[in-house]
Structure 1
Amino acid sequence: MNGEPIPLTLEAHARAPAVTPHHRAWGSDVKRILCIRLDNLGDVLMTTPALHALRSAAPQRHLTLLASRAGAAAARHLDDVDAVIEYDAPWVKQDAPIDFHRDLAMRERLAAGNFDAAVIFSVYSQNPLPAAMLCHLSGIGRRLAHCRENPYGLLTDWVAETEPQQGTRHEVERQLALVAHVGAETENERMRFNVSPEDRARLRQHGLALDAPYFVIHPGASAASRRYPTERFAQVAASLASLTGHRIYVTGGRDEAALTAQLSAAHPNAVDLAGTLDLGELAALIQGASVLISNNSGPVHLASALGTPVVDLYALTNPQHMPWQTPNRVLYHDVPCRWCYRSACPEGHHACLNGVAVEDVVAAACELLEARDTLAL
């Protein structure tokens, strides 16, 4: 062998026989589809273009979303979803204890749903086969998913997994490609989330000054590896408030109150909204914002769905979840350990975010603000 030696695992992949799974378009007999997306809110939002493709292929279809508690909250805001079932699956990262009685009850519930087909949406690091087995045991005859290993009878519509060896796609593109294998396509690839008049009315009941321009800052994230330092967020808030005179609304869950309190103390124009907004109210707030500044988390994907400009402080944990089809600035400091897929920095330095200067965040937000103001003229 000439040149550099090939790593053994890559050589094995190269010598593996080509996989040619069979695909066929789902016809008019596929009327009830179970759409499985069991991770987080942002993952559900990035799946909405694929859900729209399933609907567009046959408008009479009934789509049921099977999602975690966090993901299921989006269902009432999604026009393409007819029903939702909440399920915190034991094969997806979660805090709830495993309860096999709950899993058996879910099998019974899915069996009673009389689904014609199931689509299992997953990132490439997730294994779809536990969900495929659940669907098989529930009597769902057609089962579609990406899968790395041969699923044999568990998937009737198997799309061979090619990521990351052959490159990594944005999560929206990945899921659109999945449903295209069964004939579901759409030209409109935007993410979706509906903010209702009731959502806006409830938001106004909080007494916020929503008619004046404002920023939203979201300092939290579910993983420590994806959090920009809180003290720097506070400096960003103070600088933006002083430079622009805009109000700064700081959002987060009840468990993030310590983060939001530190930010809201940075400037008199900063308002702490931790734990006060439901999902619809949060979306209404983001929809009306001049710019969202956030770690890479659910609010970034809400901004993508709503068309709000976003400064995304993007820890280099994975490449698939950047903003989609909305004005954005993605900020990070490049590091050799990029794409670590870890919840905590394995190197201990968190340089991919610690290396982003406050001045760069402020400049990015001001650039997006100026561009938005120019378009409004």
Structure 2
Amino acid sequence: MSGWNSVRNILCIRPDNMGDLIMSGPALRKLKQGLDARITVLTSSMAAGVTPFMPEIDDTIIFDLPWVKTANAEGPETLLKLIGGLKEYNFDAAVIFTVYSQNPLPSAMIAYQAGISRVLAYCRENPYGLISDWVPDEEPFQYITHQVERDLKLANYVCDANIDKRLKLTVNDADWPLIADQLKQTGLDPDKPWLTLHAGVSEIKRQFPERLWIETAVQLISQGYQVLLTGSVGEKELINRLQRKIGLGAYNAAGLFSIKQLIILICHTPLLLSVNTGVTHIAAAVGTPVVVLYAQTNPQHTPWMVPSAVMEFPVPDGLKSKNGVIRQVDDIVYSDPAPMPQPAIIVDRVIGLIRPPFVSGRQFHEIQRENPELSANR
């Protein structure tokens, strides 16, 4: 696609969750390095907290767009203000990142109204004047790629820079002693074997049964591991209940850490055990091994280029998406629902992947550079 060599000021629209934005990091890096461009990201309030730690992002515009599932979608008047504000940036181009089940045209309309004439995006239908650089979307009916690969492929259409394809978040290790002290206040000793368990979900369909969380944690504790339970302020009730039922050896950190501190914590934890949610992509971005209990929803969002074990479990019929594209994938990819992972098997996967606690995520990235085979699933 021609005309991008002179592009230096790019609006990247990724108005979804934190994990979605983290997975777009390598594509943002490719655009930034390949075009020597300034990258401004338009994203949601749910993802905004992670943007200061993504080195590819120069500026962030936070807005909850009404066609994306967010907690606080803005109204039409504020949307017009957003468009007016975008005009003041004088963007050379816009790039719209989507999952294959999303329609890019509403975002393209924002770029159009903001006077951004050069727009790159996947689209299933002919966008005519809304998308100048149209890439026909063949997913998921022709093939399915990982979300990182999908986003990189889009960036490839306008630049061919050779970049590091791993997810990356900046980590300030100077804050680790303070976080370690906070862990000690919960009762956990970070100098003894431990791991982090994250049970909270952004969508109820990804929820793993509490009974199995409890049994898994009890078995891990019996193997000599301390289990740190993390979660947001809104997940305190869940985490309190899990800690109470797990008993001795489980420690409650719900609502204790900011995003910045959570990134550092995940960098230092020997392993993350979680459902498929944003924290798994934080782990991948700091080099922490992950065992993910993966609801059969989006097959393209598994942990990227980090040692991991993906253990799928079925989504109840009543909770499945009404989106026709996702239903089609469910009928094809998940036509044979996975059996529910049992605690003993989960514990085996954890023990097989857990790294020594003295290896930080940063050190692990260095080890990966010398031993690429450690990027177990990619």
TM-score, length basis structure 1: 0.85
The aligned counterpart of 2:2 is 24
Q: Label 1:25 to 1:171 Cα distance change in 2 as closer, same or farther (>3 A).
A: farther
Q: Counterparts of 1:184 and 1:223 in 2: how far apart (Å)?
A: 36
1:140 aligns to 2:116 (yes or no) = yes
1:190 aligns to 2:170 (yes or no) = no
Match of 1:280 among 220, 239, 260: 260
Alignment map for 1:343-358 (pairs within 5 Å): 355-358=340-343
TM-score, length basis structure 2: 0.85
1:267 aligns to 2:247 (yes or no) = yes
Q: Label 1:189 to 1:85 Cα distance change in 2 as closer, same or farther (>3 A).
A: same
CA-to-aligned-CA distance 1:41-65 (integer Å, 9 cap, x gap): 0000000000110112033x21111
> Which shows bigger deviation, 271-280 or 292-301?
271-280
1:290 aligns to 2:275 (yes or no) = no
User: Once superposed, what is the RMSD of the aligned Cα atoms?
Assistant: 2.6
Task: Give, in angstroms, the shift of residue 95 of structure 1.
Answer: 3.1
Does the residue aligned with 1:276 lie in a helix, a strand or coil?
coil
Q: Counterparts of 1:354 and 1:96 in 2: how far apart (Å)?
A: 36
Does the residue aligned with 1:220 lie in a helix, a strand or coil?
coil
The aligned counterpart of 2:75 is 99
Tell whether the 8 Å contact from 2:15 to 2:44 is kept in structure 1 after alignment: yes
The aligned counterpart of 1:117 is 93
Q: Counterparts of 1:283 and 1:353 in 2: how far apart (Å)?
A: 31
Q: Counterparts of 1:170 and 1:229 in 2: how far apart (Å)?
A: 26
Q: Counterparts of 2:353 and 2:300 in 1: how far apart (Å)?
A: 22
The aligned counterpart of 1:19 is none
1:36 aligns to 2:36 (yes or no) = no
> Which shows bigger deviation, 111-120 or 363-372?
363-372
CA-to-aligned-CA distance 1:308-331 (integer Å, 9 cap, x gap): 111110111121100111011101
Task: Give, in angstroms, the shift of residue 94 of structure 1.
Answer: 2.0
Amino acid at match of 1:260: I
Task: Give, in angstroms, the shift of residue 210 of structure 1.
Answer: 3.0
1:56 aligns to 2:33 (yes or no) = yes
The aligned counterpart of 2:205 is 225
Q: Counterparts of 2:14 and 2:168 in 1: how far apart (Å)?
A: 15
1:302 aligns to 2:282 (yes or no) = yes
Tell whether the 8 Å contact from 1:119 to 1:143 is kept in structure 2 after alignment: yes
Count of equivalent residues: 345
Structure 1 stretches of at least 4 aligned residues deviating more than 4 Å after TM superposition = 333-337, 339-343, 351-354, 370-376
Tell whether the 8 Å contact from 1:225 to 1:342 is kept in structure 2 after alignment: no
The aligned counterpart of 2:225 is 246
> Which shows bigger deviation, 118-127 or 226-235?
226-235
Tell whether the 8 Å contact from 1:228 to 1:354 is kept in structure 2 after alignment: no
The aligned counterpart of 2:371 is none
Task: Give, in angstroms, the shift of residue 223 of structure 1.
Answer: 1.1
Q: Counterparts of 2:60 and 2:351 in 1: how far apart (Å)?
A: 39
Structure with bigger gyration radius: 1
Q: Equivalent pairs: percent with the same residue? A: 37
Q: Label 1:170 to 1:25 Cα distance change in 2 as closer, same or farther (>3 A).
A: farther
Task: Give, in angstroms, the shift of residue 293 of structure 1.
Answer: 0.4
The aligned counterpart of 1:173 is 149
Task: Give, in angstroms, the shift of residue 363 of structure 1.
Answer: 0.9
CA-to-aligned-CA distance 1:55-103 (integer Å, 9 cap, x gap): 12033x2111110011111111011111101010011112325411110
Task: Give, in angstroms, the shift of residue 373 of structure 1.
Answer: 9.1
1:156 aligns to 2:132 (yes or no) = yes
The aligned counterpart of 1:327 is 307
Q: Counterparts of 2:178 and 2:52 in 1: how far apart (Å)?
A: 16
Does the residue aligned with 2:239 lie in a helix, a strand or coil?
helix
Q: Counterparts of 1:89 and 1:288 in 2: how far apart (Å)?
A: 35
Tell whether the 8 Å contact from 1:234 to 1:262 is kept in structure 2 after alignment: no
Q: Counterparts of 2:216 and 2:352 in 1: how far apart (Å)?
A: 14
Task: Give, in angstroms, the shift of residue 195 of structure 1.
Answer: 1.4
Tell whether the 8 Å contact from 1:66 to 1:72 is kept in structure 2 after alignment: no
Q: Counterparts of 1:370 and 1:207 in 2: how far apart (Å)?
A: 19
Task: Give, in angstroms, the shift of residue 160 of structure 1.
Answer: 0.5
Match of 1:369 among 337, 354, 378: 354
Q: Counterparts of 1:301 and 1:183 in 2: how far apart (Å)?
A: 25
Tell whether the 8 Å contact from 2:17 to 2:46 is kept in structure 1 after alignment: yes
**Unpaired segments of 5 or more residues in structure 1?**
1-22
Match of 2:196 among 187, 206, 216: 216
Q: Counterparts of 1:287 and 1:353 in 2: how far apart (Å)?
A: 30
Tell whether the 8 Å contact from 2:104 to 2:122 is kept in structure 1 after alignment: yes
Tell whether the 8 Å contact from 1:37 to 1:67 is kept in structure 2 after alignment: yes
Q: Counterparts of 2:109 and 2:23 in 1: how far apart (Å)?
A: 24
Q: Label 1:319 to 1:181 Cα distance change in 2 as closer, same or farther (>3 A).
A: same
